[in-house]
Amino acid sequence: MTASLKDTLFVATQYLTPHHALSRLTGWFAESEFGPIRDTFIRRFARHFEVDMTEAERPELSQYRNFNDFFTRALKPGARPLPEDSKALACPVDGTVSQAGRVESGRIFQAKGRSFTATELLGGDSEQARRYQDGHFATLYLSPKDYHRIHMPCDGTLVRTTFVPGRLFSVNAVTTDRVPRLFARNERLVCEFDTERGRMVLVLVGAMIVASIETTWAGVVAPYQRDIIQHRFDEPALRLERGEEMGRFRLGSTVVMLFEKEAVQWADGIAAGARVRLGQSME
C-alpha cells in the first residue's frame, strides 16, 4: 500500500469514527490510577514517541499518578527562558509551526490551498473577527512527545472565552493537508486577551482522543451541552504575565494565535515546518 493511499484511508476513517465517544474512552484510561493500566500507557507512550524526560520536573516515569499527569508534566524551573527583551513576543508552546502569516480578506491559510475564515474559527462572531482583519496569525502544532502546557506570549488581561463545540479530527500534517477548514471544525476554546499590542486571541483546538482542554482559571473545559458558551471577564480582572501558564492539553493538539493589524511581525524563522520552543522570541 502506498503512503498516499494510507493517508487517504486514514483521513476517510476519521469521518466515520465516533470522535467524542473515542475521546471519552481514552480519557477514562488516561485518568486511571490502576497500576497496570497507568504504567503500561506511560511506558509504551514514552518509548514509542521517544519522550525526553531530562527536562521534566519529575524525570522518573514512576512519579506520575496517571497518564494525564505524565502527559501534562511540568518542566524544570529555567528550562525555557524568556527573551531578554521584555517587549519581545515569546512562543507559547513547544511545537512545530503549521502555518504563519497575514489574515488576508478575513481568511487564515491552512495548507495546500485550503483556508478558513477568522469568523468561523471564532465561533461565528464576525464583530470579533473584524479586529483581526489584515492582522497576523500563527498555527502551532504540538506533537505527542512535546511539552503540553500553554504559556502567555505577552502580558495580557483576559477579556472573554468562547467554547465552540465541533468534531475532533486529528490535527497532524496529513489531516491538515486534506480536511477542509480543519481548525474551524474541531472543538475549541477561544481565549481573547487585552494586551499592550491590542487584542490577542489564543485558540486552543481539540483533536482526536484529546481527553480535554484545561485552563488555569477554570480547570477542565468539558461542557456536556453542545452549544457555543461564552464567558466575559470584567470584574475582577484576570491578569496573566508573559511566560505564565494559561492552559494545557490532555493529549496533543494545536494553538492558533491571532493579532491585530501591525501588532506583530513574525521573525524569518517562524515559517511552516519550523520547530519552536516555549519562550523563544517570535519576532
Interval 23-78: pLDDT, tens: 666 666 677 888 888 999 899 999 999 999 999 999 999 999 999 899 999 999 99
With CA atoms as reference, report the closest residue to 200 among 191, 210, 208. 191
Contacts of 225 (CB under 8 A, 6+ apart): none
Distance CA 186, CA 274 (A): 23
Catalytic residues: 94, 151, 253
Share of the chain above pLDDT 70, in %: 89
Q: Which three cell numbers stand for residue 205?
A: 483546538
Q: Look at residue 16 in the predicted model and tell me its pLDDT.
A: 64
What span, in angstroms and rounded, lies between the C-alpha atoms of 163 and 269? 31
Residue 170 CA to residue 176 CA, distance in Å, equals: 8
DSSP state of 186: B
Looking at every residue in the chain, the average pLDDT score rounds to: 89
Please count the helices (runs of H) and the strands (runs of E) in the chain.
8, 15
pLDDT of 283:
94
- Per-residue pLDDT at 17: 66
Identify which of 249, 240, 183 has the alpha carbon closest to the alpha carbon of residue 222: 249
Looking at residue 24, its amino acid is: R
Q: How far apart are CA 96 and CA 141, in angstroms?
A: 5
Among 139, 157, 228, residue whose Cα is nearest residue 199: 157
pLDDT at position 18: 63
Q: What DSSP element (H or E) covers 5?
A: helix 3-16
pLDDT band with cut points at 50, 70 and 90 for residue 235 = confident
Residue keyed to cell 485552563? 215
Q: What integer pLDDT is reported at residue 173 of this predicted model? A: 80
Q: What is the full DSSP assignment across 59-103?
A: -SGGG-SSHHHHHTPPBPTTSSPPPSSTTSPBP-SSEEEEEEEE-
| pTM for the model | 0.91
| pLDDT over 60 (residue 211) | no
**What residue ranges do the domains of the chain occupy?**
3-71, 95-276
pLDDT for res 112: 78
If one compares 21 and 275, the residue with the highest pLDDT of the two is 275
